[in-house]
Amino acid sequence: MDQEKIKYHVRGLLEAIGENPDREGLQETPDRVARMLSEVLAGTAYSNHEIAEMFGKTFALTDSEQIESAVVMKDIQIFSYCEHHMALMYDMYVNVAYIPKNKVIGLSKIARICDMASKRLQLQERLGKDIAEIISEATGSPDVGVLITGSHSCMTARGIRNTSAKTTTKTLMGKFRTDKNLQELIL
């Protein structure tokens, strides 16, 4: 990310809304915003493939260890920013399930994948698809389900201002598309 360009534009934004960027309290704001954006949008620097490689540590299963059911992780908390308004998407919870194919992924890696994929300007629908694709590549499994529920400040803090509205999206791949029992696992 171009930190200097971000600082320049944040200063201009402060001026455009009628603020004095040189007043006490705002003098360091352009620098703080630039550092914050580098942190909260760090996933922008990586493709789904690169995230799968970064967090794709798996463990091989022997024939006797093969798992015939899904591995499910629920309530992974994340946040992101809506690409339409650059508004915060918050109180987001992700449920991920996959059916192992000769290997399992480290459990913390599932949460790390969700976190890194969320660190982009996003649509919730795309975020679920990105997480599913990354989990599929990292695990070698075509059978992945992702459920995301969250609040969007573009709905809760502006516009309609409906503070109780939540958005839920499901991304289903492989057997999760047709098997209702598997779909139940991510609910």
Q: Is 82 an active-site residue?
A: yes
* 10, 33 Cβ separation under 8 angstroms: yes
Q: Is 114 an active-site residue?
A: no
Cα separation, 38 vs 10, in Å, equals 14
Q: Is 49 an active-site residue?
A: no
Q: Which of 83, 122, 125, 183 is catalytic?
A: 83
The rounded Cα 152 to chain-centroid distance in angstroms is 13
Q: What is the CB neighbour count within 10 angstroms for residue 151?
A: 20
Q: Which of 4, 53, 84, 125 is catalytic?
A: 84
Q: Is 152 an active-site residue?
A: yes
Q: Which of 114, 122, 133, 152 is catalytic?
A: 152
Q: Which of 3, 82, 137, 183 is catalytic?
A: 82
Nearest to 175 by CA among 160, 186, 164, 163: 186
Q: Which of 114, 122, 124, 133 is catalytic?
A: 124
Q: Which of 85, 114, 133, 184 is catalytic?
A: 85
Cα separation, 8 vs 34, in Å, equals 10
Reading phi first (left if > 0) and then psi (alpha if -120 to 50, else beta), residue 139 is in: alpha
Per DSSP, helices labelled H in the chain are: 3-16, 29-40, 48-54, 107-118, 124-139, 153-156, 180-185
Q: Is 9 an active-site residue?
A: no
Residues known to be catalytic: 82-85, 124, 152, 154
